[in-house]
Amino acid sequence: MSTVMTTKERLAIDRIHMAELDADSRSRNFDEVNRGLTPEEAVREAQRCIRCTNRQCVAGCPVGVSIPEFITALADGNLREAARILTRDNALPAVCGRVCPQETQCEAKCVRGIKGEPVAIGYLERFVADWATTNAAELGDEPLPPSTGRRVAVVGCGPAGLTAAGELARKGHGVTIFEALHDTGGVLRYGIPEFRLPKTIIDAEVARLLALGVTVECNVIIGKTLTLAQLREEFDAVFIANGAGLPVMLSIPGENLKGVYSANEYLTRVNLMGAGRDPDSTTPIIAGKRVAVIGGGNTAMDCVRTARRLGAERAMIIYRRSEEQMPARVEEIKHAKEEGVEFVMLTAPIAIGGDKDGWVATLRCLRMELGAPDSSGRRSPVPVEGSAYDIAVDVVVNAVGTRANPLLTATAPELELNRWGNIATDDNGATSVAGVYAGGDIVRGGATVILAMGDGKQAAVAIHDWLNRR
Amino acid sequence: MFDVISNEVLAPNLHQLVVRAPRIASSRQPGQFVMVRAEAGEERIPLTIGDADAAAGTITLFVQAIGASTRRIVAVPAGGRLRDVAGPLGLPTHIRNWGRVACVGGGVGTAVLFPLAKALAGAGNEVTTIIGGRSARYIILADELGALSRELLVTTEDGSLGVQGFVTHPLADLVADPARRPGAVFAVGPVPMMRAVAELTRPHGIETVVSLNPIMIDGTGMCGGCRVLVGGEAKFACVDGPEFDGHLVDFDNLADRLATYREAEAGHVCRVSGKEAA
């Protein structure tokens, strides 16, 4: 049917809006906010793709998903084929369909976006990936390539490591992922909340990799349990993707008071350990009635929306620039606002005050105004003289960023680092040590899930070439 | 999964577990710890590696059952399994030959002290060990520590074994005597005890190392939940420690932060047993 549609007919279809849980009820539970498309909606949206020849959407995707092909298969109602194409190109499509900033990547390049709204590529990816999970039996097992007899160690089970593992396993290499925590997924598990990415999705994506023969060993900390040198003896190549999980401190007075959390601690307690979310969890959390989250990125949005769900009456974003300059996705900001989050803009914290028992009581802030543009063209915030005031709070969450964790590199002096302590690599992810590659946040500093996945995919190609040359 | 080889009761609520963990057994050094969960849903609990046998592939853990999660860990019998054991974590103890050293342990801290005392004795130090507890029932590892010490002094609060009083009493005598004064003191135990030891050695300028026990979540440096103030600077005990210069530690802040979840812990006991927590 869709094959006979004209471009004009395709252009006449309006972009779908995905159903969401009602803001009032969802802001008090951890259920997924975005509900996904119905099969009818998905096919209709897929028909909006005009199958243009320049395929700019693919260039906008860091892992190079064959977007027009999977969308065409979907528009034709051939879900098996759509799933086959999508899972071939992307190790974690159900994750990407949910957390990628499509508005700045594939969808930003869609030609339909020039005169109207781009095709909802992310929604379609999510739909097909979820279909593939639900219908895994119908899809059958992917045929495995013959074993090359080569073994590759992957350090870290986050998005970069999982992607590289999938790519390498598909090329016939034996892959073992070493993960420091007790569960898989890295930031997908401990960082991104259940209401954006249900943990069952990660389990399903990891299961797909296990079916490809990938081994995951949790509770192994490379740099402590085993050194990089030991991995190099045991494996033919190594891919390091252990992330940037080291919180940057606020470095203001009062940071050690009870009730002050780093975003990593706050989110890890809730997401990985189930604090305040899973009735069977024994990990506690100080939920807070008045919670101030400092920062303007997606992590800050995750923290503040979590605070609402843990029962906060006032959940505030404290950001020193203005809303237009926030690095968070527009959708996250919108969702947070709908859920009752207060946005306190052009405000910088200068001290945290405590009560006599050592608990957080106030956040002392300065009002800011935007000054002249700096060398990068961005207008820097400057404090307004005499504007200091206190906000009453009982929990403060620091979401200003993370840096490279030196746990591995401290015991691997052979690895060259850059001046930020990140692992230095060439354009293919090769480090200063032959056969050792790196990617994701340990190379880039705190970045996005999809960029980490792109690194994993690219490094896997380079590792495969390197193994073939030996 | 990590097999529990043996589980013995050393003192009331204090268990010694020998656990099969070959990789940790071969890489661990004195002063390091592991993060442990008995089963899914449980908290991650930091436990010092008390001893290790690389050949047998085992590590020894001393666990004081004081809350829901530690009770779950000590309830795993020999032949049972712990779901998660991750490590070795933290920096190893800086071991060198000071000539004379004093090792001071309070309560379950004595178990944490044991690998340090063993390593210090192994490095040629003349070790004086002082261990204390509420009563004779709480004194642990006396024979093991006695075997590697030149002198072992025991104190109990009720006088049921050794000298009546706190570990600081014999330590004060030691420090006051130029012929016996240690070049360094290692203290492990409750916060008030470590603080008292640090205050006692400070005027004499004796290097004093304490092993801190803040709340931890991951134990790998990714969250900062275990941060402590050392010389006015925030340090992460899991990666920068757990041992620090006792003269620079802000013990008030440590004690305060350790109380963060007291209500939550009491509440939890409440739900499980149907009773108020003690």
Each residue of B11-68: pLDDT tens digit? Answer: 999 999 999 999 999 999 999 999 999 999 899 999 999 999 999 999 999 999 988 8
pLDDT of residue A3: 54
Residues from chain A contacting residue B220 (CB–CB below 8 Å)? 180-181, 221, 224, 245, 405, 407
Set of chain A residues whose Cβ sits within 8 Å of the Cβ of B261: 284, 286
- Least confident range from A95-99, A139-143, A152-156: namely A139-143
What pLDDT does residue B278 have?
A: 34
Cα A345 to Cα A336: distance, rounded to the nearest angstrom: 14
Average confidence (pLDDT) over A200-219: 94
- Kindly list the distances between the CA atom of residue B35 and the CA atoms of A241, B23, B87, B120, B276, in Å, as whole numbers in the listed order: 22, 14, 7, 25, 28
The span from the CA of A258 to the CA of A395, in Å, is 8
Per-position DSSP letters for A159-214, written without gaps between them: HHHHHHHHHHHHTT-EEEEE-SSSSS-THHHHTS-TTTS-HHHHHHHHHHHHHTT-
Averaged pLDDT for residues A368-373: 90
Determine, for residues B220 and A180 on separate chains, whether the beta-carbon distance falls below 8 Å: yes
Place of tokens 């350790």: B258
Across chain A, mean pLDDT equals: 94
State pLDDT tens for residues B8-22.
999 999 999 999 999
Residue B256: closest C-alpha in chain A: A358
B246-266 pLDDT tens trace: 999 999 999 999 999 987 776
**Closest partner residue to B69 among A180, A247, A282, by Cβ?**
A282
Minimum CA–CA partner of A359 in chain B: B260
Q: Identity (one letter) of the amino acid at B235?
A: K
Report helix angle A67-75 to A121-134, nearest 10. 70
Question: Whole-angstrom Cα distance, residue A131 to residue A85?
Answer: 13
φ/ψ of residue B235, rounded to 5 = -120, 150
| pLDDT of the residue at B224 | 94
Hey, are the CB atoms on B268 and A284 less than 8 Å from each other? yes
Which residues, numbered 380 to 409 in chain A, qualify as contacts with chain B under a Cβ-Cβ cut-off of 8 Å?
Answer: 405-407
Q: Smallest Cβ distance to A282: which of B24, B42, B217?
A: B42
What phi, psi does A409 have (nearest 5°)? -65, -25
Query: Which residues are CB-neighbours of A360 under 8 A, at least 6 positions away?
Result: A254, A257, A258, A259, A260, A352, A353, A354, A393, A394, A395, A396
Q: How far apart are CA A246 and CA A244, in angstroms?
A: 6
pLDDT of B270 > 50? The answer is no
CA-nearest residue to A178 within chain B is B86
Does residue A358 belong to the interface with chain B, where contact is any CB pair within 8 Å? yes
Q: Which residue has the tokens 């401290």?
A: A410
Of A400, A216, A202, the closest CA to residue A299 belongs to A400
For A379, list phi and psi in degrees, rounded to 5: -80, 120
The percent helix, strand, coil of chain A (3-state, each to 5) is 40, 20, 45
> Is 60 exceeded by the pLDDT of residue A442?
yes
Nearest by CB to B220, which of A255, A259, A407?
A407
Q: Is the pLDDT of residue A251 over 90?
A: yes
Strand partners, A102: none
Q: Which of A287-296, A372-381, B120-129, B246-255 has the lowest mean pLDDT?
A: A372-381
User: How far apart, in whole angstroms, are the C-alpha atoms of residue B89 and residue B104?
Assistant: 23
Chain B environment of A221 (Cβ under 8 Å): 86-87, 89, 220
**Cβ A247–B220 below 8 Å, yes or no?**
no
Helix/strand/coil (H/E/C) assignment for every residue in B91-139: CCCCCCCCCEEEEEEECCHHHHHHHHHHHHHHCCCEEEEEEEECCHHHC
Interface test with A, best of B223, B253, B254 (most A CBs within 10 A): B223
What gap in Å lies between CA A297 and CA A102, rounded to an integer? 16
B268 reaches A (C-beta below 8 A): yes
Nearest-by-Cβ selection for A219 from B86, B224, B256: B86
Q: Is the pLDDT of residue A338 over 80?
A: yes
Say what percent of chain A tops pLDDT 90: 87
Residue A387 carries which DSSP code? Answer: -
pLDDT of residue A372: 85
Per-residue model confidence (pLDDT) at position B266: 65
Give the β-pairing of A379-383 and A360-373: antiparallel
| Contact (CB<8Å) A405/B44 | no
Bridge-partner residues for A436, per DSSP?
A238
Nearest to A30 by CA among A397, A328, A281: A281
- Encoded tokens for A111: 């030609």
> What average pLDDT does the segment A16-45 reach?
95
Mean pLDDT of A454-470: 95
Q: What is the dihedral of CA B41, B44, B48, B52, to 10 degrees?
A: 50
For chain B, the distance separating the N- and C-terminal CA atoms, rounded to the nearest angstrom, is 33
Range of lowest pLDDT (A140-149, A198-207, A242-251, B172-181) = A140-149
pLDDT at B271 over 60: no
Q: Which residues of B touch A273 (CB under 8 A)?
A: 43-44, 217
pTM higher than the cut 0.80: yes
The mean pLDDT of A346-359, rounded to a whole number, is 96
- pLDDT beyond 90 at A447: no
A79-to-A70, A89, A134, A138, A192 alpha-carbon distances in Å: 9, 15, 12, 11, 28
| Mean pLDDT confidence for A5-11 | 92
Chosen for mutation from A155, A157, A182 (greatest number of chain B CBs closer than 10 Å) is A182
Hey, are the CB atoms on A181 and B24 less than 8 Å from each other? Answer: no
Inter-chain CB proximity B218 and A278 less than 8 Å: no
